[in-house]
């Protein structure tokens, strides 16, 4: 398998941060803190990114060297799809993070936010040949709506990007086999909600399998019906469903508002 190593370099853009970018930075920093609060972080590993509003194909990602609980709006790093850091920072970025996130951002303009995790439950399900099973109401939202990408080693070769894009297609959830979980969404809140549900789905599956009891097999018709219900209800503002993101920010502001700095 041919490999092309990642090359991260700096080309500082002195352009001021717009109000739209500032809001995106606050929301992304909040997402890092929420992932940490829910025990889904992994020291310096894993990453969350968000597309910077505007015509430039830039995205924001965590500074490589800080824990998720230390990420703030101002210390997020802005990078382009070629691996050029275009914001001032003493830190670099995770090469594997660049490979995964640049691949999907480059191919999927609809993917505003991408979240990748290495949780115990997520990695355990990623190690199962059958992957995620449609067992619970949580996991049914992913019925025929989750993709799989075979393990190729650490994701630090640029060549892997084309296969990541091929495998995820137009879906918003991906299991990286033997590796972990990934979700994306049209907003940071929607990507976070998808990851929260995917993580819970993995935990429920492992608990059910470990019980030794006989698992209930739902019909394909019921599975698809439930998945379509989730498709309908997962869009904030539709069918009276409120946007949960403001409430999550209010909670964070009470716990530790420094993510906004």
Q: What pLDDT, on the 0 to 100 scale, is given for residue 10?
A: 53
Q: What pLDDT, on the 0 to 100 scale, is given for residue 3?
A: 64
* CATH class of the domain comprising 9-260: alpha beta
Report how far residue 75's alpha carbon sits from residue 69's, in angstroms, rounded to the nearest whole number. 12
Closest Cα partner for 5 from 208, 232, 195, 161? 161
What's the pTM value of the predicted model, to 2 decimals? 0.92
Closest Cα partner for 46 from 116, 102, 113, 101? 116
Q: Are 70 and 29 in contact (CB under 8 A)?
A: no
Q: What pLDDT, on the 0 to 100 scale, is given for residue 219?
A: 95
The full length of the chain comes to 261
Strands, sheet with 77-80, edge to edge from the N-terminal-most edge strand: 9-10, 84-85, 77-80, 58-61, 47-51, 113-117, 180-185, 173-176, 147-149
Q: What pLDDT, on the 0 to 100 scale, is given for residue 36?
A: 98
Closest Cα partner for 230 from 125, 110, 144? 144
Q: What pLDDT, on the 0 to 100 scale, is given for residue 233?
A: 84
Cα–Cα distances (Å) from 22 to 18, 28, 50, 93, 243, in that order, read 6, 10, 12, 20, 20
Two tokens, residue 140:
């049914």
Two tokens, residue 38:
């829910």
Report how far residue 248's alpha carbon sits from residue 181's, in angstroms, rounded to the nearest whole number. 22
Quote the radius of gyration of the chain (alpha carbons, Å).
18
Average pLDDT by stretches of 10, the chain with 261 residues: 54 73 97 98 96 93 96 96 89 92 96 98 98 96 97 89 96 98 97 97 97 94 95 75 91 96 93
Give the position of tokens 């020291």.
43
């Amino acid at each position: 398998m041919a490999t092309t190593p990642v090359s991260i370099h700096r080309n500082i853009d002195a352009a001021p941060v717009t109000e739209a970018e500032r809001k995106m930075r606050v929301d992304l920093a909040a997402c890092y803190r929420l992932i940490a609060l829910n025990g889904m972080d992994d020291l310096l590993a894993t990453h969350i990114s968000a597309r910077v509003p505007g015509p430039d194909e830039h995205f924001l990602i965590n500074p490589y060297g800080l824990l998720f609980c230390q990420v703030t709006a101002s210390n997020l790093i802005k990078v382009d799809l070629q691996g050029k850091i275009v914001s001032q920072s003493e830190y670099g970025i995770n090469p594997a993070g660049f490979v995964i996130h640049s691949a999907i951002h480059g191919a999927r303009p609809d993917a505003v936010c991408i979240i990748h995790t290495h949780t115990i439950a997520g990695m355990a399900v990623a190690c199962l040949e059958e992957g995620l099973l449609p067992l619970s109401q949580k996991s049914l939202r992913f019925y025929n709506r989750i993709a799989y990408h075979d393990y190729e080693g650490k994701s630090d070769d640029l060549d892997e990007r084309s296969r990541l894009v091929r495998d995820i297609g137009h879906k918003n959830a991906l299991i990286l086999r033997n590796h972990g979980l990934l979700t994306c969404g049209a907003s940071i809140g929607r990507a976070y909600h998808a990851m929260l549900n995917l993580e819970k789905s993995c935990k429920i599956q492992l608990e059910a399998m470990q019980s030794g009891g006989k698992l209930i097999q739902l019909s394909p018709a019921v599975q698809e019906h439930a998945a379509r219900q989730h498709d309908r209800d997962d869009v904030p503002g539709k069918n009276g469903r409120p946007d949960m993101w403001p409430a999550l920010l209010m909670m964070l502001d009470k716990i530790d508002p420094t993510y906004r700095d």
